[in-house]
Amino acid sequence: MNFLQIYLYANIYILFFWVFYKIFLNRSTLFQGLRFFIISSFFASPLIPLLQPGIISLFKSSQDTLNSFNPINFIYNYSGIARFSDGFAETRQIADWNKTISILILAGSIITALYFLYNHIKINILIRIISRMVDIQQNRID
């Protein structure tokens, strides 16, 4: 299983956990349990696809494994890209698409992480400002 398949399956599992949360746990007041569910679902989502091939191989024959779904081939086959008649060129074309998609996913992940870090720093600064204002107000009262 390559990186893109793991990434795709991890996102599917995150979506599954989010739908489960929205349907069954959204109105719950057990905040510590909800926090544990959310954090553990984000850690479990990329790990489940890594465990999946071992579990699936117990129930599938080798022929079924060869015909299993590959999202990269699906995207390549239905994207309208001109195909080369040479098998080597076709393999190189698929590899180039794999590399391009991997770079786009990595860039999106880095941008998202930087955006999260930026917002985290803004919230910490806001908390410091508010706590200083509360301290000043408390000193005026005393």
Q: Out of 28-32, 51-55, 105-109, 122-126, which region has the weakest mean confidence (pLDDT)? A: 51-55
Cβ–Cβ contacts within 10 Å for residue 24, how many?
10
Greater confidence, 126 or 56?
A: 126
33-84 per-position pLDDT tens digit: 999 999 999 899 888 888 876 555 555 555 555 555 666 666 556 555 545 4
- pLDDT, position 13: 92
pLDDT score of 127 more than 80 = yes
- pLDDT, position 77: 61
Confidence class for position 118, pLDDT limits 50, 70, 90: very high
Confidence class for position 89, pLDDT limits 50, 70, 90: low
Alpha helices in 60-86, H assignment, sequence order: 62-66, 71-77
2-34 per-position pLDDT tens digit: 777 788 888 889 999 999 999 999 888 998 899
Distance CA 63, CA 128 (A): 61
Of 109, 106, 99, 53, the residue nearest 72 (C-alpha): 99
- pLDDT, position 96: 76
- Which pTM does this prediction carry? 0.48
7, 73 contact by CB (below 8 A): no
